[in-house]
Every structure is written in C-alpha cells, then in structure tokens.
Structure 1
C-alpha cells in the first residue's frame, strides 16, 4: 500500500519538477492533457473493461455507480449554491460554483488512482463515474450555465451530443460490448497488445500532468484567493464525509463503497473552467478551485484510500 502512495506522490512531483525546470511548458502540458484524455485513457478503458469477466452484479453495480455519482454531483452542487448564498457571495457566481464544486475529476485523477489502488474492477467502477460526469456536465451543467440564459432545446441537444459523445464514453461502451458479447478473443492480439501498452501510459502521464498543472498555477498566489480557498475546503472535506454517511446505509459491496468514497474526494473537473468561460461567468475563480482542489487531493486521496482499507 505504501509503495503505491509513493508512486502517486513521485509521479506528481516529477511533473512539478519538470515544469519548474522548463522541460514542460504550459502549451506542452495542455497538449499532454489532451493526449491523455483523447488517446491513452480511452485505450486503457477498452482493454481494462474488455478483460473483466463481468457478472450481473458487476454490471448492475456499474450503472448504479454511474447514477449515484451523477446524483451526488447534482446534490452537492446545489448545496454549494446554498452555501454561497448564505455566505453572501456574488450572485453571478452561483451557477459557476454549482457546477465547479459539484464536478469530480474521474478522468485525469480518478482512473489512475483506481488503477493504482483498486485494480481492474476499480477502474470499471470509476469508468462509470466518467460516464456520470459526462452526462452531468453536458446536460445539467450546460443547462445551468447556458440554458437558463435562453438557449434553445436544439442548441442544448447539439451541445450535449458534442460533449457527451467523446473518446472516453465510446471506449467504455466498446469495452462493455467486447466483454459482454465475448468477442474480445476475436480482436487480433497485436491490436490488443498495442492498446494495452498505450493505455499503460495513462497513469504516469496523468499524474505528471497534474504535477505540471500545480507547478504552473503559482501556488502561493492561488492560496491568497480566499473565496476559492473556502469553497475548495468545503468541497474536499464535506463531500467525502457525506459520501461516507451515505455508504453507511447503502447495501453495496466493499469495492463499490471504496470507489464511491474515493471518488467523492476527487478534485473539481479540469474541463469545467473552459465550460464556464464559454457559457457562464466566473472562469478565474472556477480555475482557482480546480487547482486548489487538485493540490488538496494529492494528500487527501491517499488518506481516503487508507480509510477504505479500514472501513470496508
């Protein structure tokens, strides 16, 4: 377990070091992030899911996890909206706070953490969160940021399809199709071997990306943004706590409970500030929250993984 913690911290530290030394620039890191999300993670999802002998229980758990994570993001976003009003924050920021604080970074951080600590079944459940995140962001999220400003149903539908139909979602359904139809054995071995090698790059590249992102953010400056720090702390403390309370009464298996609790400790999704910039107001604060929650998660996630070993 401790060696896995070391891998997590070491990879993030490498990214931070490389950025500070100039080996990775902002432009290079942006390209690295796009490659991870568009190329290596889809390859990992296809090969990992296709290799799992999916039982009825696992398949049911997959869809329940997808629904549970989407519901958790919506409910916690609404809570943060109420919290922001209670704290008399700028009313123009409420939509941004709702989506930013509610979102979870299942892709860049969730999948690598699941692979390191929970193995293939953990990745399966975390990939359900990737689907839940896409449904949440490109339906509810777009409605909150844009729909209430008068976006037509046609425009909303086009935006949803454009955002939700992406390589990650396609890879998840492809992996499910291969394993459920028992046709994965018909895929040529060199192709599967290539996809496995490509997917194996996801964990180190994702963690290096996160480290470089932290290095580029000007950490001290971000921590001076008091409102962003406050919202980030509320999200990163309260969301896992509420997830733990929910798991006390939900009759789920230990793996599902562990992944759900760790998922609740994930930082805000990297894509949200770009959505806010395009559709809403408060992109700077949204970006600050993403960076702050990402920094906090580097310490919090190993702690949550350790707790799951005790609790479940």
Structure 2
C-alpha cells in the first residue's frame, strides 16, 4: 500500500520534471501556458470527471449519500475557512493570499486518490471519492474561479455553472441516477482523454515552475508553512473532528486521506487563465507534491491504528 503512494507521487514528479525541462529548453514558452491550461480545463478534465461516474450506486441507501455529501461540503469549507484565517495574519499581497487559499482548498483528488483509495477501500471508497470530487469541482469552478479572478462579485457566478467541467459533473450525475451508460466507443475515447489529466496538468505546473527563481523558492518560508497546513494540519484536524462521530472506517479513511492530498495542479491552470499568478501557484503544487511522499504514508499508518 505504501508502495502505491510512493509510485503515484513519483509519477507526478516525473511529469513535473518533464514540464520543467521543456520550459528551460524553451520547448514550452509562457505564451503556450494559457492555451495548454484551456485545453486541460475545457476538454481533458471534463472527460476525466465524466468517466469517474462509472460506478455502482445501488448498494447504498439515502442516509449514506446524505452523510457523504455533508462531510464533502465540510471538507471543502473547512480548509477554505482555515486558510483564510491563517493568511489574515500574514503580510502577503492580496492576490498571493488568494492563491494560498485556493491551493489549500482544492487538492489533487483523482490522480493520487484513485489508486490509493482503490487499493485501501475498494469500490465503496472510490464511490465516496467520486462524490467528494464532484462537490469539490462544483466549488472549484464557481467560487474558485471567482477567487482567482480577484472578483468578489457573485452576480455572474451563474455563468461559471456552464463551464465544461461542471457540465460534465451534472451529466455524470444524471447518467448515474438514470443508470444509463454511454456508448462503448465514446466511453473509451473519454477514458483516453481523461488519462491525460495528470500528465498535462503537472507538465503545465512544471513548465511554470521553470520560469521562477529556484533559490528564492527554496528560501521561501511561506511554501513550507503552506505544506505544513495542507499536508499535516488539515488532515490532522479533519481526523480529530470526524473521528468523534464517524464510525464507518471507510468514510473516515477516504475523507482524511483526501484532506491530506497535495495542492491540485488545476489551481495552476486556473491561476494562469484568470490571474497572473500561475508561476507562484506552481510552487505550492510542486513542493506539496514532493513532500506528500512522506506525509501520506504517515496518514495511512495513523488510520490503520
């Protein structure tokens, strides 16, 4: 099980290194990043979201769904509010505070989560992960976009509900409820597209990382504080809170591990599209992806006690 965690993290790092080398070799220029980010958020990620709904829902009752939805809402709101509180004590500029909040709130759920959760908790764990991922995406592509756009006006938030990622989520939920399957050929095509999510998102992140000052990055205290909050404080507090009333070990395990995932690379793409903080965002994604090789096995050990 620990090997699965390490393998998935190392795969992410390989993609990061490829992106980093591409930018340093000028194979990927800054002007390419926005187009690649649009490809990721409008085509590749929606395909991955849609295919993630290929699960069996008949084995669970209404109480199960209500419990998972409520905990998922908590797992989105809690990191958001905690990080917002923490950055209020810092002297970072406003746009960087918002990057900090976004990276704390929206983590790498699917690529690392699916193999780990699937190995530990089988189909039930994967279904819980799909529900949490759906709710997280709902907030990421509505409130998350407003966050990165530095726009607190929610008047036009309805337009973000028509984003490809959310449309894929709504379609996936509808197909799941109706018990309808997409044609086999279309499903295969979507699977292939969706499998590009991790490589493309991490290559974009690695490329942006190639444009920053490495020495300045390594000396930044904010990066290490962020990683402590994202990888240790959040899952630790989630465990302490949920463990008081959640008796189902699968639900508890999935939610705690999801809370301890590194910052999602989609943050980098959204920061690139909607603000000028893509390179800064990539720093949080890179460092948390590296350090989670250490922290995730520790979380798994604690959950096994």
- TM-score, normalization: structure 1? 0.74
TM-superposed deviation, 1:308: 4.1
TM-superposed deviation, 1:195: 1.3
> Where do 5+ consecutive residues of structure 2 fail to align?
119-125
TM-superposed deviation, 1:294: 1.3
- Corresponding residue number in structure 1 for 2:13: 12
* Alignment partner of 1:49 out of 26, 33, 53: 53
Q: Does 1:239 align with 2:234?
A: yes
CA distance in 2: counterparts of 1:25 and 1:180, whole angstroms = 44
Q: 1:200-239 counterparts in 2 under 5 A?
A: 200-226=195-221, 228-229=222-223, 231-233=225-227, 235-236=229-230, 237-239=232-234
- Corresponding residue number in structure 2 for 1:171: 168
Native 8 Å contact 1:46 1:174 kept in 2: yes
TM-superposed deviation, 1:189: 2.0
Q: Does 1:267 align with 2:263?
A: yes
TM-superposed deviation, 1:244: 2.8
Work out the number of aligned pairs and report it: 285
TM-superposed deviation, 1:27: 3.8
TM-superposed deviation, 1:233: 4.5
CA distance in 1: counterparts of 2:50 and 2:247, whole angstroms = 25
- Corresponding residue number in structure 2 for 1:116: 115
Native 8 Å contact 2:145 2:274 kept in 1: no
Q: Cα RMSD (Å) of the superposition?
A: 3.4
> Where do 5+ consecutive residues of structure 1 fail to align?
278-282
- Cα distance per residue 1:209-247 (max 9 Å; x no partner): 333333333332223445x33652453343333223223
- Corresponding residue number in structure 2 for 1:280: none
- TM-score, normalization: structure 2? 0.76
- Corresponding residue number in structure 2 for 1:134: 141
CA distance in 2: counterparts of 1:107 and 1:198, whole angstroms = 22
Q: Does 1:292 align with 2:289?
A: no
CA distance in 2: counterparts of 1:309 and 1:176, whole angstroms = 30
The structure whose RCO (Cα within 8 Å, separation 6+) is larger is 2
- Cα distance per residue 1:103-161 (max 9 Å; x no partner): 2478783221122322443344333222233344356x489x544xxx5xxxx321x12
Q: 1:184-195 counterparts in 2 under 5 A?
A: 184=181, 187-195=182-190
- Cα distance per residue 1:193-216 (max 9 Å; x no partner): 211222222233333333333333
Q: Aligned with 1:63: secondary structure?
A: helix
CA distance in 1: counterparts of 2:293 and 2:130, whole angstroms = 16
Of Structure 1 and Structure 2, the greater helix share is in 1
CA distance in 2: counterparts of 1:258 and 1:172, whole angstroms = 24
